[in-house]
Structure 1
Amino acid sequence: MQKKINGIQSIHFKIPMLFIFLLLVSLQIIGAYFIRQLETDLIDNFDNQMSLNVRFLENSLVPVIEDEDQSETPATVQNILEDYIGGDFLEIQVVDAEGYILGTNDQTRQSVVGTKSTDRDVQQALLLESDRKYQYVDEDRMDRVLKVVSPMFATTSPGEVIGVVIMESNIETVYSQISEIVKIFLNASLFAIVITIILAIIISQGISKPIAEMRTKTLAIAQGDYSGRIRIYGNDELGQLADTINDLSTKVKEAQETTESERQRLDSVLKHMSDGVIATDRRGKIVIVNNRAVDLLGLNREEAVGKSIMKVLDLSKEFTFRQLLETNEDLILHIDEGEGKADSILQGEFSVIQRDTGFISGVVCVLTDITEQEKVEQERRNFVSNVSHELRTPLTSVKSYTESLQDGAWKDPDIAPQFLQVISTETERMIRMITDLLNLSRMDQGKLQLEREYVSMNDLFSHILDRFDMVLQSEAYRNKNYKIQRDLTQRTLWVDIDQDKVTQVIDNIMNNALKYSPDGGTITCRLMETHNSVVLSITDEGMGIPRKDLQHIFERFYRVDKARARSMGGTGLGLAISREVLMLHGGRIWATSVENKGSTFFISLPYESFEEEEW
């Protein structure tokens, strides 16, 4: 915001006042010196003139007073004094050594001639034999008077005072002359001040106008307006400054355009980065955060900007900001996504923003979402652990029974067949697991090819259930009294599937239903149609699946009851393979369950209805 300049603070006021002040100081110094010197010179000249007149008068009077014939002395003195009537001489008196007045040039005071003088200055001059000179103000005329009292010495007897000359002159004319000269000086000074003010205003405008234009231009530059150029009035310093500002405006404009281009490029890069970026100031307050970082942290931009990075990333319990600046290791951050959601795992890489001088101006943090990576890594570790464990158990059994046979158990006709049967069972279990792993590997690599064909889902499901009906009649299930209940749609549903792979899926679910159903349990099998899917469901009356385990049962090697599942010969891969097979068909599998009441598995396959004529 442009601040308004007070009139007294303006250069329009300061420059004229500066000139006036300098002129007044100069005039004061010059005037004081000039008038003082003039006054001194004029008064000295007047004084010297008075002294000459006194000496000249004394030279004329001394011979007269020394004359032995004193009878003619007053008349002669009076004749001499008549030459000094008029001019600046107010009164001249001649007094003899006895103090009697011998004559005066004032015609109105001739009565004092012959009388004894009462003037103290005469008495002091006769007594001290020295001149006396001073000024005083005549109260009648109110003029300044210069009075000179000079003793006259005899020429025949050196040192003998024979009389006194008193001369009073009007010195007011000198002071009047000085006053006139002072008035002339003051008038000239006043005229000079007026001329100076006019010139100062013109000069100040000549200086302030370019400065005002330069100020307006610099304010425009500060606000981002680089258009227009400052007018150059001359090739002086102000002209060079204006030219420099014009050049600066051009360079700032180019630099601003470059900076804006770089900023837009940086914003675009930050906006489309797959990693989150956070930048802070030297105090750790967030100043830049891109969209990806906001998404990863689950915050609004307004909530992040201005907050401490230690608080936003929840690092205050483990680090101080200084320790964060000094760390060279990547940090693993666990972000709570809220109730019912798994935490996100982020990798934070921190880099200090440091100038050439060593001053740290902030830190940049790059956040990478490694949730899936960590999940895959954890699944890999679990997979290796599970495979190792699943293979170790049957291998341990095979090794133990083989060692027993080697130790002589093969000679026992009762024990040897049992040991061999266990070895055969465990070997078949390992073969099944390895086959399942190979199938999963092919699916993961996309190498498993489906041999699709149109199959009547009604006939396929019925055929599979007929086969399990025959299984239930076998010796192993005869005493369990299992029942398979069917609820199949009467509408023939043709689907494009790999019959063997889908049969494997249904067999797996039916085997699980038989394994976990109690004696006398009923297994309900349904086949239904939606507007774009064929849905199969298989419901058992077994122990059910706990809610916390329900979302994990399709993961590899996951078992709800590990001990029981392993004792029943399961590998923990059947449901995982079923899910992969159905995903290859574009379908899906899911389950619902109530503990101690049973579970229901659903299989959904894509289905497009068509008329018989089209077939």
Structure 2
Amino acid sequence: MKKKIGFFQSIDFKIVFVFIVLLLVALELIGAYFVRQLETQLIDNFQEERRLQVGFLDNTLQPLLVDKENRNLNEEIGRLLGDFSGNGVLEAQVINPQHYILGTSDTTNQSVVGMKSKDRDVHQALLLSSKTTSQYTDQTTNDRIWKLVSPIIANDGSNEVLGVISLKTNIESVYQQIEEITIIFLNASLISMGLTVLLALFISRAITKPITEMTHQTIQMAEGNYSGQVKIYSEDELGQLSLAINDLSIKVEEAQESTEAERRRLNSVLTHMTDGVIATDRRGKIVIINEMAMEMLNVTQETAIGRSILEVLKKEKEFSLRKLLENEEELSFNFSTPENPLILQGGFSLIQRETGFISGIVCVLHDVTEQEKIERERRDFVSNVSHELRTPLTSMRSYLEALIDGAWKDPEIAPNFLQVTQEETDRMIRMISDLLNLSRMDAGNSELELEYININELMSHVLDRFDMMIQSSDKPKKAFSIKREFTNRQIWAEIDTDKMMQVFDNIMNNAIKYSPDGGTITCRLQETHNSVVISVSDQGMGIPRKDLPHVFDRFYRVDKARARSMGGTGLGLAISKEVIQRHGGKIWVDSIEGKGTTFYVSLPYLPYEEDDWE
């Protein structure tokens, strides 16, 4: 049924209203600018005319004021001011440098001649030798008065102040003229608004008539009658809309015929969807469940159909149907088992008829197990990085604050504080460098520069460097020895030398850190039929069994306090694992608490006869 539209709700009214508002805005802007410019121009002209009058009077008075022996000065000035008049001039006075009034043009106020002026503007003009202007309202007549006080400067080059001219003028007539022009402008605006209303009504009628006919046709289409056609009045946008409605009436009938085929196709799509889909009746009982949903929930169609969706999703204790639909966010469902982690995310929506009647609920389930794992690892990674950077920064800040407070003056304390600050800076640089290396490896941007290397010689080179470090230290913190157990056979493998040296350095540094005083670090080099195995054993405190699966995790430390005090970043073994895996090898650890730890590195290689390389 067509609802009758009131005039104030109609497009006719809205178009007229918009036209009037636009006109008012335009008139306001133009009027404000015009009146303001007119006011400025008229006031400037008025003031300029008064300045010219004062300048003429200045030139006339100079000969009289220069003549110091003129005994009839007051009479001559009085006659001169008596003839001085102009548009709106109320009073003109001449005051000498001693502040005495020499004459006034006001015939009713001649008694002030010879008296000392108390006007502040006059005093200021005499003191600063500059003109002053002011405007005020006469308390008796409420007219606006414009006042000009101008010093009389001798034009003989001496710049002597001969006196002051004080001029009072009535500027009210200028403002009255502006008000009259403003009234004329407002009357013209009202006439323009009336014409605009008539024009807007004419335009709106031309627009709304085709729209009314199109509305009538669409109502008939909604009632199932597609035989009518909308009359086309023009070839503009409304004409194109009329054509579209006529085409729509034909196509809607065709669409109804294909609805049933689409419904059958939808059933096929639901069956093969990668997301789980569950549909219920208005009581929340499951009526449709596709194959993926049954696989996710580990149920069969027979056991699921007819059961409450809350029961199948194991949310009957937390939600009711109403609360489930009022929750705008997607819900998370954890169906994980010790053997098979599974986290689902479900979104719910209503199935409603045209009348608004709720006939059921649709739930779409997504498997977000992998995303949750990645998100958890990301949060842990950000937390670890923040913590690892915060610790050295806090330490550096404490030492730097102590240096700022005066510790830099102490020759014993300052070097130690600076050394600690440098060590913490180096530690952060190492950590950031390790993070960048891991980032490049994760992104696949770190290419291996492979070359055939003699593994025996490479390991000997690495261990020689550590032997040299031990021997070059005058006061080593711990005394330990490095023992080598290498196979006599020369082993060659295709590796990236720099990255592999970084791996062996990380393992050796860990062995040195955790070896006791007087301990022995044993390095072995062995071969199998298709791999070379390198192991590094220490006699340190060992690693607890529960921590062994995590030693290659990023930022993982068995003893966090001790590892941090030794300058570790918690990334060395993680980088080593990435490097070894990119070489197609393996790295693992074996440890016994209180007896020591052994790290193993296995790299693939092809045995060869030495004669082939001669």
- Tell me: CA distance 1:491–1:414, structure 2 relative to 1, closer, same or farther (3 Å): same
Q: How does 1:382-393 map to 2 (within 5 A)?
A: 382-393=380-391
Residue equivalent to 1:267: 271
Question: Structure 2: which amino acid aligns with 1:600?
Answer: T
2:270–2:277 contact (8 Å) kept in structure 1: no
Q: Which residue of 2 aligns with 1:469?
A: 467
Distance 1:292 1:528 in 2: 51
Closer, same or farther in 2 for the Cα pair 1:410/1:529, shift >3 Å?
same
Q: State how far apart, in whole Å, the 2-side matches of 1:255 and 1:449 are.
A: 56
Q: Percent identity among equivalent residues?
A: 63
Q: Does residue 1:414 correspond to 2:412, yes or no? A: yes
Which of 593, 596, 599 pairs up with 1:598?
596
Using the alignment, how far apart are the partners of 2:279 and 2:297 within structure 1?
Answer: 14
Alpha-carbon distance in 1 for matches of 2:295, 2:376? 24
Residues 441, 261 of structure 1: CA spacing in aligned structure 2 closer, same or farther, 3 A cutoff?
A: closer
Q: Which amino acid counterpart does residue 370 of structure 2 have in structure 1?
A: E
Q: Which position in structure 1 is the counterpart of 2:311?
A: 311
Structure 2 vs 1, CA of residues 310 and 522 (structure 1 numbering), >3 Å: closer, same or farther?
farther
Amino acid at match of 1:460: L
Instruction: State the alpha-carbon separation in 2 of the partners of residues 474 and 305 from structure 1.
Output: 79
Q: Which has the larger radius of gyration?
A: 1
Distance in structure 1 (CA, Å) of the matches to 2:538 and 2:515: 6
The alpha-carbon distance between structure 1 residues 261 and 292, as it changes in their structure 2 partners (threshold 3 A), is closer
Cα distance, 1:503 vs structure 2: 0.7
Contact 1:543 1:597 (8 Å CA) reproduced: yes
Residues 213-237 of structure 1, C-alpha deviation per residue, up to 9 Å, x if partnerless?
xxxxxxxxxxxxxxxxxxxxxxxxx
Query: Once the 2 structures are TM-superposed, how far is the Cα of residue 510 of structure 1 from its aligned partner?
Result: 1.2
Matched, 1:323 2:323: yes
Q: Which residue of 2 aligns with 1:337?
A: 337
Does 1:460 pair with 2:448?
Answer: no
Task: Tell me the SS of whatever aligns to 2:453.
Answer: strand
Q: Distance in 2 between matches of 1:541 and 1:416?
A: 38
Deviations 1:63-89 (A, max 9, x none): xxxxxxxxxxxxxxxxxxxxxxxxxxx
Equivalents in 1 of 2:304, 2:485: separation in Å?
58
Partners of 1:351 and 1:327 lie apart in 2 by 10
Which AA in structure 2 matches 1:418? Answer: N
Alpha-carbon distance, 1:312 to partner: 3.2
The match for 1:440 is 438
> 2:387 aligns to what SS in structure 1?
helix
Deviations 1:59-118 (A, max 9, x none): xxxxxxxxxxxxxxxxxxxxxxxxxxxxxxxxxxxxxxxxxxxxxxxxxxxxxxxxxxxx
Matched, 1:371 2:359: no
Q: Report SS of the residue matched to 1:551.
A: helix
The 8 Å contact of residues 493 and 604 in structure 2, kept in 1 or not, is answered as yes
Give the AA of the match of 2:271. D
What's the C-alpha RMSD, in Å, of the aligned pairs? 3.1
Residue 451 of structure 2 aligns with an amino acid whose one-letter code is E
Is 1:298–1:337's contact at 8 Å kept on the other side of the alignment?
no
Summarize deviations over 1:241-263 as a string: whole Å, max 9, x none. xxxxxxxxxxxxx9998765553
CA change 1:448–1:315 in 2 (3 A) is same
* 1:589 partner letter: I
User: Aligned partner of 1:562: which letter?
Assistant: K
Distance 1:409-1:263 versus aligned 2 partners, 3 A rule: closer
Q: Distance in 2 between matches of 1:410 and 1:356?
A: 81
Matches of 1:354 and 1:523, distance apart in 2: 75
The aligned counterpart of 2:506 is 508
Aligned twin of 1:57 = none
Q: Distance in 2 between matches of 1:319 and 1:355?
A: 25
Q: CA deviation at 1:507?
A: 0.8
Q: Report matched runs for 1:223-372 at 5 Å.
A: 262-268=266-272, 270=273, 273=274, 275-297=275-297, 304=304, 307-338=307-338, 343-372=341-370
* Residues in 2 aligned to 1:284 and 1:449: alpha-carbon distance in whole angstroms: 56
1:415-460 deviations in Å (ceiling 9; x for gaps): 1221221122112112111211222222222222221111122221
Moved more, 308-317 or 435-444: 308-317
Instruction: Give the AA of the match of 2:337.
Output: E
Q: Distance in 2 between matches of 1:424 and 1:474?
A: 22
**Kept in 2: contact 1:533–1:607 (CA 8 A):** yes
Q: CA deviation at 1:600?
A: 2.7
| SS state at 1:518 partner | coil
> Which TM-score applies when normalising by structure 2?
0.52
Amino acid at match of 2:605: Y
How far does residue 508 in structure 1 lie from its aligned partner after superposition?
Answer: 0.4
Output the CA distance in 2 between the equivalents of 1:556 and 1:520. 31
Q: Does 1:526 align with 2:524?
A: yes
Out of 404-413 and 291-300, give the one that drifted further: 291-300
Residues 481 and 518, structure 2, Cα contact 8 Å, conserved in 1: yes
Classify 1:258/1:331 alpha carbon distance in 2 versus 1 (closer, same or farther; 3 Å). closer
CA 1:337/1:455 → structure 2, altered by over 3 Å: closer, same or farther? same
In structure 2, the CA distance between the partners of 1:366 and 1:596, relative to structure 1 (3 Å rule), is: farther
Match of 1:544 among 539, 542, 545: 542
Deviation at 1:578, TM superposition (A): 1.4
1 CA distance for matches of 2:607 and 2:302?
53
Q: 2:488 aligns with which of 481, 487, 490?
A: 490
1:305 shift after superposition: 5.3
1:358 Cα deviation from its structure 2 partner: 4.1
How big is each residue's C-alpha offset from its partner over 1:398-431, in whole Å with a ceiling of 9 and x where there is no partner?
2222232233322222112212211221121121
Provide the secondary structure at the position in 2 that maps to 1:396: helix
CA deviations 1:192-233 (Å, max 9, x no partner) are xxxxxxxxxxxxxxxxxxxxxxxxxxxxxxxxxxxxxxxxxx
Q: Distance in 2 between matches of 1:480 and 1:332?
A: 54
Q: TM-score, normalised by structure 1?
A: 0.52
Q: Counterpart amino acid of 2:267?
A: R
Distance 1:402 1:294, change over 3 A: same
Q: Quick one: structure 1 residues 528 and 279, their matched pair in 2 at CA, closer, same or farther if it must change by over 3 Å?
A: farther
User: Is residue 270–residue 290 contact of structure 2 (8 Å, CA) maintained in 1?
Assistant: no
Query: What residue identity is the alignment partner of 2:508?
Result: M
For the 8 Å contact 1:485–1:522, the answer to whether it is kept is: yes
Aligned partner of 2:600: which letter? F
Q: 1:405 to 1:477 in 2, by over 3 A?
A: closer
TM-superposed CA distance for 1:295, in Å, is 4.8
* Shift in CA distance, 534/359, structure 1 to aligned 2, threshold 3 Å: farther
Count residues in correspondence. Answer: 357
1:571-610 matches, cutoff 5 A? 571-610=569-608
Alignment of 1:37-76 (within 5 A): none
What is the DSSP-based 3-state SS (H/G/I as helix, E as strand, rest coil) of the residue aligned with 1:383?
Answer: helix
Query: What runs of 5+ residues in structure 1 fail to find an aligned partner?
Result: 1-253
Determine helix, strand or coil for the equivalent of 2:338.
coil
